[in-house]
A and B are shown apart, each in its own frame.
Chain A
């Protein structure tokens, strides 16, 4: 059964005019968000995007923007208390990943 999370929230954006159609985004995306047609990438399923940032990291022409961050409630709460950017770095308590 496919998991579905909140709709219309992902910050993913593809600038198609910059895209060279190398297909690296389709290779790295863990949720099949992209596909290639006519030598250009396109976003098929933005609601499956988990904002991990793999596509942005591996796009050789910077055609993808996304506010990559961890989708972890404990990390966000920690961030509020410590005033820092949420991160998975809860090594001491080992709460999230």
Chain B
């Protein structure tokens, strides 16, 4: 298979000259691609035109790209061209997998498919992952039907079966796709790593393959994004504190900075990481509890409950756990198991507490700042 790929690549190199004007290569290109992309290793010829062949290897550039989007850098423009791709040496009987055009999604899919011969149909989800795109409707019934027609898939494969990621089901009406295109929709496993065994077992998914998880690692990779968001908002807070410092009797310093940053980290990293181990169910509660632990430890270890700093200590005990609580509640959006009704309920109960507690805390801290 490796030599096949190399041969194909050679053809690709020779064929590459003025394809855009169509002078030397009359073959239609089904999916346009950038020759410089290291994950494309050649092209394959079909009845409907040429299809790029992709590699299952992840290079440094791919890893760097993943790291960057995890920190929110160019996150909304990390995408590949939608269309049909080939992996290995597929023929008209090879399975067709459907996925999203977010490069992070595409990488996590292709790296699990080594040794397989298959087609990959990439939908235009505007660079968003399958589950979220399905929720928005871009990984949707209409886009799938259009993409099948645009690529001429029904003439490239002889069978009539598509394998979709299970989490795409939120956006797809399987029976509607079948009615309009003749292709039946089979939902594969939730995780890309199970696809090979799903295919080799004759398209049987175990209960385990069908269940969404949210492991400590899954949660941890999402936390940098939470921290980046909180840091952006914190710049405003620091700006205000700076202005206050110009007039205050007691100025804000390192002690306050550490207390604040600790509360932010508690809400954005510690609580998400320890999520299932923290007692209770509501995210706001879990965040508040962890925030209270952090603030108590900090206040006590710095002796802030002594009479001259009592206002500050109590003020912090009101405002900082509320901050952690609010940040933890925002993590519901990154979780894989919170329902709208549940989030709505916890917000209605917790927001009045978060807001009033924050106001009390801020007032106490400001009294300390201006009166001393």
Contacts and interface: CB of A to CB of B under 8 A. Distances in A.
B69 to A, nearest CB: 9
Q: Which interface residue of A28, A60, A73, A94 has the most chain B CB atoms within 10 A?
A: A73
B143 interface: no
Given A87-B136, A89-B136, A97-B131, A71 B338 contact: yes
Nearest to A91: B76
A34 to B, nearest CB: 11
Given A27-B166, A58-B169, A76-B343, A48 B129 contact: no
Contacts, number: 147
B174 A58 contact: yes
B341 interface: yes
B interface: dominant SS = helix
Q: Which interface residue of B166, B190, B339, B342 has the most chain A CB atoms within 10 A?
A: B339
Contact of A30 (B135, B283, B336, B347): B336
Nearest to B284: A73
A87 B135 CA distance: 8
Nearest to B208: A32
A interface: dominant SS = loop
A88 B330 CA distance: 12
A90 to B, nearest CB: 8
Q: Which range contains the number of B residues in contact with the other chain?
A: 35 or more
B170 A9 contact: no
Contacts of B329: 73
A15 interface: no
Given A5-B281, A97-B131, A97-B334, A30 B343 contact: no
B339 A51 contact: yes
B333 A75 contact: yes
A70 B281 contact: no
B319 to A, nearest CB: 19
Interface of B: 72, 75-76, 126, 129, 131-132, 134-136, 166-167, 169-175, 187, 190, 205, 207, 210-212, 214, 225, 229, 275-277, 281-283, 329-330, 332-347
